[in-house]
Structure 1
Amino acid sequence: MEECACLCVVGSSRGCQCCQEGQGPVETAAAYEKHIEVDESADECCVGSGGFSSPMLPPPPPHCSLQDLPVELLVEIFSSLPVTDLPSLALACIKFHHILHIDSIWRRRCREEFGVCENLQNLEKISMSYREVYAKLLHPYRHILGLWQLDTEGYRGLLNVVVDGLCITGWTFRPCLNAHVDCPMLFEPTFRIRLTERKSATVECMEGRHSRPHNCHMQIQKDRLTTQCKKTDHRKDSPARLRDEWGRVLVQKVRQRYDCLTYRRLYLPPSQPDDLIRPGLFQCNCSAYGLSIAMLSFHGKYARLTKVTGDSNHSLEIHLMRRIQLPDGEIFRNFNELSRVVQEIDKQVIRERQQQQEDGTEESEGHGWQSPAQPSVRESLAAASEELPVPFVLPVGVLSMDQTYPRTCRMCFYGVDTFTYTVTLNGLACTGRHPGVFILFDENHFGFIWPEMNYFILFSRVQNTFQNVEAPSSRAFLEMLKNIQSGPP
């Protein structure tokens, strides 16, 4: 009892619970009064000695651990954590290990990261969980999602790899003959990656004249993707041109054997507030192969239109500082006047670059592709955007495969079309250069006129949406843009 009284003096003055237990009301009151007397005497002692009474310490907070939280709350917390933290979390304790096997966590992961909207019944049919789909299919093959360019010796294709239900499917763009540029892009399946009954991912080729989907090998690198099929009847369609007895171009599909196909990563250009229009992919009907795909990107004083699919390496350089004035659109009715204006600007551009080479002030490779838009460019484009559209009519004598083009345009710029082709006899690469007029119709349409060839091509924005196409940095996008103009990987 004395020991307890001493502890109560140091602690709270309300009395000791252990002393009060087993005592009646009278004994409890007496003990309480005794404690008060001891406290008062201690206070008087402190005051008389010139000291200070020690304040009473607050009770220690109750011990709380993450393991004490309800399971429902832990599931919500674990679902929002980075996936790289979950393996370490599973090793923390047995409770966390069991919680991380709850399928609702991985169902949310599959939906938010990859857009998988399958229900539980579909998974139950194949005796598989969301955790297995995420760990054995989606996460290991996440690096191949996005756009890829197939580069063969004769034709360049486009591949879009997406999450398709409980599979990952590679869809190849197939050019369609007699299709308008405003039509959506058409894709056909090339390969798929799925989980088998053994719960392991397998790559299957979807092409072949006689065989059903069959196994093929895939090699994934940083910016390269290679597929190899060992089937003897594996053929890949590639377009080829023929001419009839009247000289007209005919197109047919020639089946060539491609045992190994190599793709390279394709990023879409980033968008900036100062861009003339929103960059991206555009379709054009510029060859006998059908629709082709080109990429429009902006780089300060210049814009570039790079051909992504087709049979040649075309790159259109648009000079945003060299605008062609359009007084009421009359310049389009006089084709000779339009050609004269283009030739004068082209001669001036050549003289300026020759002078820059002599002075040693020539712009770096790519003509300033990395430089941001200058204030003069922004001010010029902002003023031009406020102008009213002018009538547009295709000049007399200019040919085009698209007659349903817009009838008004906003502005025009000087541009140069450069292309590279290989001479069959000696294998040398030759480069051609043709100046022309870049015509901006609206946000989704533009065109280009080649005065030397009397030809006009209409470009229309691709309406398909793509995912996982953002470049990790501006440098990575510029490097990718440079590689498109090179040979096969």
Structure 2
Amino acid sequence: MEECACLCGVGSARGRRCRQKRQRPAEKAAVEGKPATLAPAEKHVEADAAARCCAERGGIPSPMPPPPPQRCSLQDLPVEMLVEIFASLPGTDLPSLAQVCTKFHHILHIDSIWRQRCREEFGVRENLQNLEMIGMSYREVYAKLFHPYRHILGLWQLDNDYGTVLNVVVDGLCITGWAYRPSLNTDVDGPIHFKLSFRIRLTKRKSATVECMEGRISRPHHRHVQIGKDRFTTQCKMTDHRKDSPMRLRGEWGRVLVQEDGQQYDCLTYRRLYLPPRRPDDLIRPGLFQYNYDALSLKIAMLSFHGKYARVTGTDKAFEIHLMRRIQLRDGEIFRNFQELSRVVQEIDKQVIREQQQENRTEESEGHGWQSPAQPSLGAAALEEQPVPFVLPVGVRSGDQNYPRTCRMCFYGVDTLTVTLSGFTFTRRFPGVFILFDENHFGFIWLEVKYFFLFGRVQHTFQNVEAPSPQAFLEMLKNIQSMP
């Protein structure tokens, strides 16, 4: 403790004598009346020694200010380290970073940074030699192709038509749009055929150009693309895209011939399409399904789950399944008697209408009811449910006789159709039965018209189809439902 008192300047006279013996030149000068000057390094050394001594002896050190921290700027880091940092940042932030200083500006011309951004953001796997052969850099491909057209990537539905789905993806050093159409046969399990619709690439002048790949001759020609929020439009001077009837103004593919500045254009409009998010309590995996639209062609519909409700949305189909209104099968016997099946469904339908009237929820309830909070999981119950025999009730027609012969669950469903004629709007309800066969098949019986539709899952894997948020998916679904 005496040694501690010697260093701290407190304690007994012996400690003071010890301090006088150990006086430094600066301290001795102060005693003699001379101005005392102590170097900053000496101050820190003495303070550290006093702190250590007090800590060892149990004393309390005198408060001393900590040494000032050394200032280190991002610009002082080595170039190799800055390249790694910049390559991990989003490509949209790099142009602003290049304006900070000249050093950053030069570093951001290093192509390895942009190669990593192209790989992480757009999945590009091209090697550097391929770019060198065409005289381009990853920086040019990112800045002139991927970044300007990034909003066009994803899944799109041709306006007013679920028959054609367009998937726009990055394909090497190009952006390509693949039009997916159901097969010509009426098998709901058949593959979806795809055809190259357009591609966007960089020319030798290092500018992006949109090439149309459709038409009877299918020679690449210029196509104009106008991108908006959740929709985009293409215009092409070639009007022979429809191989069967090029003079038809509006066909099954939703094309329209427009007149502008004395020139006729083939115009197509697409709406953004997200695939439904999956939740643990979903009955089966949601997604796209094919069904028989008529005797000659198939259409595509989307199955999505919303808590107590499920929704099937298609070109001419938009029905709601009440997952809490299950119809007991009794070993499938209920399907053998159409009158009994119709009676059960009609009773449920009347009960649903009464509850809606009692709660004073009319159209607003139907618009938001299927967004109700999730209920106890039905997915596990569907897997554990033992299949029962299924046959079409007598008198019920179907465009597909190759349906599964067993099913697992049945639920009450309703198709609500709103029609506007001569300024008057009226709504009709078409109750029916939703039938779950397995993970990849479900059906619906419209009781009033005595018709059965079979739906088969689209097995193709699409790219860039995830919704950024649940709200974005619901907004997309509302836009589809509001289509005329």
Stretch deviating more after TM superposition (450-459 or 436-445): 450-459
Correspondence list, 1:45-64, <5 A = 54-56=43-45, 64=72
Instruction: Tell me the amino acid that sits aligned with residue 394 of structure 1.
Output: L
Question: What TM-score comes out, normalization by structure 1 length?
Answer: 0.76
Over residues 349-373 of structure 1, what are the superposed CA-to-partner deviations in whole Å (9 max), with x where a residue is unaligned?
334334444xx68753415133212
Correspondence for 1:247: none
Aligned to 1:369: 370
Name 2:355's counterpart in structure 1: 352
User: Does 174-183 or 132-141 show the bigger shift?
Assistant: 174-183
Following superposition of structure 1 onto structure 2, how do residues 23-422 of structure 1 map, counting pairs within 5 Å?
A: 39=24, 42=27, 54-56=43-45, 64-151=72-159, 157-210=164-217, 212-231=219-238, 233-236=239-242, 257=257, 259-307=266-314, 309=315, 313-357=316-360, 364-373=365-374, 377-378=375-376, 386-419=384-417
Deviation at 1:346, TM superposition (A): 2.3
Sequence identity, in percent?
73
Which of 434, 439, 442 aligns to 1:443? It is: 439
Secondary structure at 1:85 match in 2: helix
Secondary structure at the residue paired with 2:365?
A: coil
Q: Distance in 1 between matches of 2:333 and 2:115?
A: 61
CA distance in 2, matches of 1:398, 1:92: 72
Code of the aligned partner of 1:167: C
Q: 1:474-489 alignment to 2 at 5 Å?
A: 474-487=470-483
Q: Is the 8 A contact 1:237 1:255 kept in 2?
A: no
Q: Secondary structure at the match of 1:259?
A: strand
Q: Which residue of 2 aligns with 1:3?
A: none
Q: What is the RMSD of the two structures over their aligned residues, measured on CA atoms?
A: 3.6
Cα distance in 2 between the residues matched to 1:106 and 1:168:
17
2:266 and 2:385 map into 1 onto residues whose CA distance is 55
Change (3 A) 1:215 1:477: same
CA distance in 1, matches of 2:296, 2:126: 38
CA contact (8 A) 1:398 1:455 kept: yes
Asked if the contact 1:413–1:437 (Cα under 8 Å) also holds between the matched residues in 2, the reply is yes
**Quick check: 403-412 or 99-108, which moved more?**
403-412
Gapped regions of structure 2 (runs ≥ 5): 1-20, 32-41, 49-66, 258-264
The aligned amino acid for 2:401 is Q
**More moved, 129-138 vs 451-460:** 451-460
Q: CA 1:38/1:289 → structure 2, altered by over 3 Å: closer, same or farther?
A: farther
How much does 1:113 deviate?
Answer: 0.8
Residues 62 and 487 of structure 1, relative CA distance in 2, 3 Å threshold: closer
Superposed CA deviations along residues 98-146 of structure 1, whole A, max 9, x for unmatched, are 2211222111111111111122232223211111111100011101111
Instruction: State the Cα distance separating 1:189 from its structure 2 match.
Output: 1.7
Structure 2 counterpart of 1:400, which letter? S
Deviations 1:378-424 (A, max 9, x none): 1666656543232333334433333333333221101112456798x
TM-fit CA distance, 1:445 = 1.8
Change (3 A) 1:275 1:342: same
Q: Structure 2: how far apart are the matches of 1:199 and 1:335? A: 67
| AA in 2 matched with 1:84 | T
Q: In the aligned structure 2, how far is the partner of 1:106 from the partner of 1:388?
A: 55
1:228 CA displacement: 1.0
**Structure 2 CA distance for partners of 1:221 and 1:75, relative to 1, 3 Å:** same
Report if aligned partners of 1:237, 1:254 keep a CA contact under 8 Å in 2: no
Corresponding residue for residue 10 of structure 1: none
Q: How far 1:68 moved relative to its partner?
A: 4.3
Alignment check: 8 A CA contact 1:220 1:226 kept: yes
Amino acid at match of 1:368: G
Which residues of structure 1 form unaligned runs of 5+?
Answer: 1-35, 47-52, 241-250
Aligned mates of 2:377, 2:230 — CA distance in 1: 38
Deviation at 1:223, TM superposition (A): 1.9
CA distance in 1 between counterparts of 2:373 and 2:252 reads 45
The answer to whether the 8 A contact 1:235-1:256 is kept is no
Q: CA deviation at 1:61?
A: 7.0
In the alignment, residue 112 of structure 1 is paired with which amino acid? E
The aligned amino acid for 1:113 is E
Which amino acid letter does the alignment assign opposite residue 82 of structure 1?
Answer: P
